[in-house]
Amino acid sequence: MYINIMNKIYKPIATALLTNISRRSLHRCSTLRAPGAYEGEGKTTVQILNKETELGLMIDGISQVGFRLNNDITILGPMVIFPRSVLSWDVGSISDITEESFSLFTIIEPKLDILVLGIGDKPENFNFYRKILPFSRKFNIPLEILPTEQACSTFNFLNSEGRYVAGAMIPPKSISYTDDDELQTKLRYQSIYSKE
């Protein structure tokens, strides 16, 4: 008798719940299958940001001796890069970084949104943070410290967003590359070795 009472009470509730659930599922499915979901203005597009010169300077490539920018200029050695200009930076490694080597960033106006520091290869120890972080706090300069390969990508992304960013980059001692990187390098320098 107890089971019959429970069936009379819960059976209508269970039926109503299942009906609502199936309606919601069908409604969601019909929304996903709507024709033209990716036609017209909502279409996904991809742009290669380094080819857009109005976005400013970006780093196209790195090597053990320097950097190649999107305007086909090669910078030898460490550099400081801004959205519209680039400077040579007199620093050999992360051990040479001092408050004096960062003095440029304290006097520029307007203030930087962020300074991206490319420290070469991934560090073995992190003692250099003791010199750099007090400087960052003293002059209220937001700082992002990364290995140079990642720092270049970060600088490019922030620059393409229109942020007022600067990059202080030290070339890495070791570089990982793919077969495609090697092929692109050979194709780029092919005209140098060909006879005219």
- For residues 23 and 103, state if they share a domain: no
Distance separating the N- and C-terminal Cα atoms of the chain: 102
pLDDT of residue 54: 67
Residue 115 domain flag: yes
pLDDT of residue 39: 55
Burial 107-127 (b: 16+ CB within 10 A, else e): eeeeebebbbbbbbbeeeeee
Residue 66 domain flag: yes
- For residues 29 and 100, state if they share a domain: no
- For residues 185 and 92, state if they share a domain: yes
- For residues 100 and 167, state if they share a domain: yes
- For residues 107 and 149, state if they share a domain: yes
pLDDT of residue 43: 59
d(CA 188, CA 39): 37
pLDDT of residue 67: 93
- For residues 163 and 133, state if they share a domain: yes
Residue 45 domain flag: no
CATH at 56: 3.40.1230.10
- For residues 56 and 25, state if they share a domain: no
pLDDT of residue 153: 93
- For residues 71 and 113, state if they share a domain: yes
Residue 64 domain flag: yes
Nearest to 120 by CA among 81, 169, 168, 172: 172
- For residues 63 and 146, state if they share a domain: yes
pLDDT below 50 — which residues of the chain? 1-2, 6, 13-14, 16-37
pLDDT of residue 131: 82
- For residues 103 and 154, state if they share a domain: yes
Residue 46 domain flag: no
Residue 196 domain flag: no
pLDDT of residue 50: 53
- For residues 20 and 55, state if they share a domain: no
**Domain span holding position 181:** 51-191
Nearest to 69 by CA among 152, 12, 125: 152
- For residues 74 and 160, state if they share a domain: yes
Residue 77 domain flag: yes
116-153 pLDDT, tens per residue?
999 998 888 778 888 888 888 998 999 999 999 999 99
Count up the domains in the chain and report the number: 2
List Cβ neighbours of 140 (8 Å cut-off, separation of 6 or more): 111
Residue 18 domain flag: yes
